[in-house]
Amino acid sequence: MIAAGSVMYMAIACGERRKAEDRFVNFSSNAPNIASSEIRPAASAAFLAPAMGVEEAIVADLSTIPEVLGVRIEHENGDTLVWVFVNQPTKDLRYRIYGKQASLIEAFPAVDLNFNLIRTE
């Protein structure tokens, strides 16, 4: 999270022969100032992964909770239906999942997300 009032400007000048995949920029939010950022050659083109789609982002985000056994996504009548499977949906676990769901709804406002928490035991 960038603190209010702080502004970061970044400019990368490339010559005609330098390709974008030859370099990557790394910024650390733990760094004390912008001087700790770096621009260095990328190890390989494989480092540059394609962007995730909405479904992949939903699954990846919910899967960061270790108790989540699986995520199923379907589409019906313009809604994106998301089922989250867990064994023991304790109050703490439910609130962690609800937090992720709220973040996903905020991240994808154009997508009508409908979440369902399913107990598998």
Q: Could you give the CA distance from residue 56 to residue 31 in angstroms, rounded to a whole number? A: 29
The overall pTM is greater than 0.85:
no
From first to last of the 121 residues of the chain, give the pLDDT tens digit. 343 333 333 334 444 454 555 544 444 444 444 444 444 554 544 555 567 789 999 999 999 999 999 999 999 998 999 999 999 999 999 999 999 999 999 999 999 999 999 999 8
CB 59 within 8 A of CB 100: no
The CATH label, of 2.60.410.10, 3.30.360.10, 1.20.200.10, 3.30.70.1350, for the domain at 54-119 is 3.30.70.1350
CB atoms within 10 A of CB 97: 19
| Residue 43 DSSP symbol | S
User: What pLDDT shows up at residue 25?
Assistant: 47
Query: Would you give the DSSP letter of residue 4?
Result: T
